[in-house]
Amino acid sequence: MRTQDMNRDWIATARTLSQALPYLQRYADATVVIKLGGHAMGSDAAMEEFARDVVLMRQVGVNPVIVHGGGPMINEMLDRLQIKSDFRNGKRVTDEATMEVVEMVLAGRVNAKIVQAISAQGGRCVGLSGKDSGLIICDQEDPDLGLVGEPSEVNPRLLRDLAEKGIIPVIAPLGMGRGGETFNINGDTAAGAIAAALKADRLLLLTDVAGVKNGAGEVLTELTASQIREMVADGTIAGGMIPKTETALAALEGGVRAAVILDGRAPNACLLELFTEHGAGSIIRKG
Ligand SMILES: Nc1ncnc2c1ncn2[C@@H]1O[C@H](COP(=O)(O)OP(=O)(O)O)[C@@H](O)[C@H]1O
Ligand SMILES: CC(=O)N[C@@H](CCC(=O)OP(=O)(O)O)C(=O)O
């Protein structure tokens, strides 16, 4: 690069940092729950970038709480083990054999990978599941779904203790039943329940599309609850987008200030959403 171009680059970087000041001030000490979906977890380089953004957030005083998915990784392992798996309305029908694989992949593999990536960027971070410290107590959601849990009680005290110490929690979406059984929770549902319990300032749902699309395939940058209900009823919102939008609405009802559905594969997606005027994805506010 020529020296002049290089100077222009640095000037642009400095300007970006300077323009971020009001956003940095707005989010200082804010709680931001980030759901990292399995489809949003791309290459190792993308994971490294995600981890760097999370550590930067923590560095500027935000309290990030990561809840992850891992559906595609579970599918891959179930395929290898030749265990068939069905989804109903975006949720995996989970029998005991499936549950074993879900727990192994989510808590053992995916969680460890994210913790490792954040630690490698210098973040202090700890891997958990909803089964730890009574974080998520579940009831069975629907007998037809088997061991799928619906969070009925969330105990966020441990998360508050970690935030006070500057430690970033990375949470696998598993829950404990009242009889000590393990439940599989949809990652979006788990993230929404945790965000509501923490009365988070933002819930960011990172996925593999730029946001919620209308019938013409255009991303809607702002959405209301009634629009979402209509789009689910007429089938415009389908599959995995159903639990995502349901989660956003439930989180707002539970006291979260706003939920955003955005493309986790886009460069620096979380920073763009939080610290720039531009924002990213579809924002859903109460009203
Ligand atoms: N109206 C819609 N707008 C955007 N995506 C939609 C819509 N309806 C269904 N989808 C689907 O939902 C998917 C996101 O859900 P999912 O695959 O469960 O993501 P993740 O694994 O990130 O949780 C998108 O890739 C898209 O195929
Ligand atoms: C009940 C249920 O569906 N659980 C999900 C948990 C993982 C998840 O939600 O992963 P994504 O966010 O990557 O889709 C599953 O078994 O796939």
To 10 degrees, the CA torsion angle through 198, 201, 206, 211? 130
Strand pairing of 87-88 and 91-92?
antiparallel
* Residue located nearest, by CA, to atom 9 of ligand 1: 238
Question: Does 244 participate in catalysis according to the annotation?
Answer: yes
Residue nearest atom 14 of ligand 2, based on CA coordinates: 71
Other C-beta atoms closer than 10 Å to the C-beta of 133 total 14
Say if ligand 1 is within 6 A of residue 67 CB. no
CA–chain centroid gap for 256, Å, is 14
Q: Which CATH superfamily does the domain covering 21-285 fall into?
A: Acetylglutamate kinase-like (3.40.1160.10)
pLDDT for 173: 98
How long a stretch of residues is the chain?
Answer: 287
pLDDT of residue 239: 87
Six-digit token pair at 1?
Answer: 């690069």
Q: For this structure, is 188 an active site residue?
A: yes
pLDDT in tens, the chain (287 residues): 566 666 778 888 888 888 888 888 888 889 999 999 998 898 899 999 999 999 999 999 999 999 999 999 999 999 999 999 999 988 999 999 999 999 999 999 999 999 999 999 999 999 999 999 999 999 999 999 999 999 999 999 999 999 999 999 999 999 999 999 999 999 999 999 999 999 999 999 999 999 999 999 999 999 999 999 999 999 999 988 998 999 999 999 999 999 999 999 888 889 888 888 777 899 998 76
For residue 41, give both structure tokens.
Answer: 């977890």
Q: Which ligand is nearest to the CA of 77?
A: 2
For residue 148, the 8-state DSSP code is B
Rounded Cα gap, residues 260 and 244, in angstroms: 10
Q: Is 264 annotated as a binding residue?
A: no
Predicted local confidence at residue 280, as pLDDT: 84
- CA dihedral sign, ordered 22, 26, 31, 35: negative
Report whether 205 contacts 38 (CB < 8 A): no
Both tokens of 131, joined, read: 């089964």
Return the domain boundaries, the chain. Answer: 21-285
pLDDT of residue 287: 66
What residue has token string 């200082």? 28
Q: Is 205 in the pocket of ligand 1 (CB under 6 A)?
A: no
Half-sphere exposure of 269 (CA within 13 A, CB side): 27
Closest ligand, as measured to the CA of 191: 2
Q: And the tokens for 234? A: 């007429």
How many other C-beta atoms can be found within 10 angstroms of the C-beta atom of residue 52?
A: 18
Q: Is 113 a catalytic residue?
A: no
71 counts as catalytic: yes
Report the pLDDT value the prediction gives residue 6, as an integer from 0 to 100: 66
Instruction: Please tell me the predicted confidence (pLDDT) of residue 16.
Output: 82
Active site residue 255: no
Distance 149 CA to ligand 2 centre (A): 11
- Residues within 6 Å of ligand 2 by CB: 37-39, 69-71, 74, 91-92, 102, 148, 173, 184-187, 240
3-class secondary structure, 141 = coil
Catalytic residue among 53, 188, 201, 263: 188
Query: Probe ligand 1: pick from 75, 208, 221, 234, max atoms within 8 Å of CB?
Result: 208
Task: Give the pLDDT score at 20.
Answer: 83
Atom 7, ligand 1: residue with shortest CA distance: 237
Of these residues, 71, 149, 264, 281, which one is catalytic?
71
